Amino acid sequence: MPSTTELPLIPLDVLLGNPTKSGPKLSPDGSRLSYIAPVDGVLNVFVGTPGVDDFAAVTSDRDRGVRMYWWTYDSKQLIYLQDSGGNENWNIFVVDIASKETVNLTPMPEVQARIIAYEKRHPDVMLVALNNRDPKLHDVYRIDLATRELTPVMENPGDISRWIVDRDLNVRGGNATRADGGEEVRFYDKGGWRTVFSWEPEDALISEVGGFTIDGRSLYLHDSAGANTCRLFKWNLDTDERTLLVEDPTYDVVDTVVHPDTGEVQAAIILRERKDWVILDPSIEDDIVLLREAYPGEVSIDTRDLEDRRWVVSYNVDDGPVSSYLYDRSTRELQFLFDNRPELRNYTLAKREPVSYTSRDGLTIHGYLTMPPGITGPVPTVLYVHGGPWGRDAWGLEVTAQWMANRGYAALQVNFRGSTGYGKAFVNAGDKEWGAKMHDDLVDAVGWAVDQGIADPKRVGIYGGSYGGYAALAGATFTPDLFCCSVDIVGPSNLITLINSVPPYWIPILAVFKKRIGDPETEAEFLKSRSPLFLADRIKIPMLIAQGANDPRVKQAESDQIVEALKANGVDHEYVLFEDEGHGFTKPENRLKFMRIAERFLAKHMGGRVEK
C-alpha cells in the first residue's frame, strides 16, 4: 500500500459534507422508500418506489436540513423535527406525501417538543411532550394527525423527566430523578402516582425502562441492579416476576430489536469491541445469520414494513461508506439501495483497530486507533476525545478519524472511565473525576501510544467536542507540557457556570450532574479546581476554540470566558463563533468552514497535510 504522503487527499466535502443519501426508511405498507438527500445543499426527505427511478423531495427545508423523520402508519405522511439555529427547541412538522403540504404541529418558538409514541393500532394519533406550561417540565399532549388538533393528556406532577407509555398510547407512568442521583420509576392509575421501584445512583445512569408488549402486561427493563453490567429483563406486571433474558459479564446490553406488532424483543445488542447479536426469537435467526454473512461489516435493521416481509438494512464498515439494502424475507434476497458517501470508494481509507491498555490504577481502558495508511509510526498523533462523557466510541466509519489519518495523523480514541457500555463500576469510576482520573486515562493513552512506537511525543495534539472539548481545555491546563496544540469544540471551561446554566428542562435531572460532576452550592472550590478557566495562566500551547452561539447545553459564555483569558495571557489562539449553530455544527457550510480552519491549525502545529 502506498504511504499516506503518496495517497490523494480526500476532499473535505467528501468526508465531512452532506452525505449523498442517508436515513433510508420503508413506508409501513412497504410500497415506498424514503431517504435524506441534499437539495441545493440542504438535507431534505425524498420518497419513491423501491427499484424505480421516481424519487422526489417531499420536504422543502431551506435552512438547517431535515435530520430526524418518521413515517406515519397510514403511509401517507412524514413527521420530522426541526429547531431554530441549533437551540434544540424542537417543533414537530408533518408533511403530506401527495400534496407536499407541510404543517407545524407545535408552532411554539420557545417550547421544546418531544415525540413520546405513535402506534400502528392508532395510526391517526401521536403522543408528544411539551414544556409550554413550565419550561422546566414536559406535559403530555395528544396530536390528531388528521385534524392537527392538540389536546392535553397529563400534566407533569413536577419531576417526571421521561414518560412511560404503553402500545395503546395510555400514559402508564414516568421516571423521576431523586435528589441523590438515583431514579424512581412511578406508575399512574386512578389512585394517583406510586413508586413501583427505584434504581440507586450507581445503577441509574445505565438502567432504563424499555417498551411494553402489546397486551400491556409485560415491560422490558435494562437493569444493572444486582450485577455490574446492564442486563435485559422481561417484567410481568401481573405476577411481578422478572425474567432475565440477556446478560454479559463485561459489557452492557445497549440495544434491542423489537417486533413491530407484538412489542416482544427479538434480539439484543451487546457492544463489545464490535457489535454482537443475541437472538431471542428463532423466527428471525436465519435472517440475521444470512444478513451477517452476506457482506462485511456490522449489520443493522433500519426499518421493517408492517407485514414484516421487507426490511431495510445497513452495513457499517470502518474503511468505506455505509451501504443500505432492501431485504425480502420471503425470497431471502438483498437488493442494493445506495452508499451514504459513494465517493469514498474512490479513496483508500484507514482501518480502525480496537486497542486497549492498563491505566495507572489498574483499569482496562478500551479504544480505537486509526493509523495513516501505509505508515507504522511514530507519527503525529491526535488524541480525539468523545463527548458525553456518558457515551462511548464504537467501531465503524468515523469520518473525523478518517480525515485525521488521511492528513497524516494517527487518531487515538479511548473510552476513558465514565464512558458507558462497560458496566456500572467503570462508568461510576468517573464520578467527580473530571480533570482528574478521567484525564489521567487520556494521559495514560498518550503514554501507551508513545511506548508502542505509534505517537511522536513532540507532536501530540488533543481534539474533542462537548466533554471532549472540556478534555482539550484540560489537556492545555492540567498537563500543559504533554500536548503541542489543542482543539476545543463547544467545551465547558467553568464547571460552575456549566451546571448553573443548564437548559430549564434539564432541571429535573440536575441531581445527576451534581452527583457525577459536583454541586456548585456545596462544592464550589472543588469545581473551580477542576475548571480549566481558573488555570488558564498555565496554557502555553496554541488553542483553537469553536462555539455555536445558540448552544443550550454549553453556553457561548463557556468559550468567551476562556478566550478572554487567552487574550489576557497572550496565548496563540483562534476563536470561531457560528451565530446560527448550537451544540455542534449542523449546516454543512459551517462544518466545512470549521474543518478547513482546524486542518490548517493542525498542519501548522503538527505538520500534517492540507487540502489546497
Who's near 213: CB < 8 A, 6+ residues apart?
Answer: 167, 219, 262, 263, 264
- Identify any residues that bridge with 544 across adjacent strands, giving them in sequence order: 487, 574
How far apart are alpha carbons 42 and 588 in whole angstroms?
8
Nearest CA-CA partner of 404 in 571, 608, 132, 183: 608
State the amino acid at position 261 in one-letter form.
D
State the amino acid at position 281 in one-letter form.
D
How far apart are alpha carbons 510 and 185 in whole angstroms?
17
Preceding amide of 249 cis, omega within 30: no
Catalytic positions: 466, 551, 583
| Beta carbons of 74 and 489 less than 8 angstroms apart | no
- Identify any residues that bridge with 415 across adjacent strands, giving them in sequence order: 366
Residue 608 CB-density burial (10 A; 0-12 exposed, 13-18 middle, 19+ buried): buried
How far apart are alpha carbons 322 and 311 in whole angstroms?
16
How far apart are alpha carbons 302 and 135 in whole angstroms?
33
Cell reading at 232: 435485559
State the DSSP H helix or E strand holding residue 473, giving kind and residue range, or none if neither: helix 467-477
How far apart are alpha carbons 200 and 134 in whole angstroms?
28
Cell reading at 180: 441523590
CA 70 to chain CA mean position, Å: 18
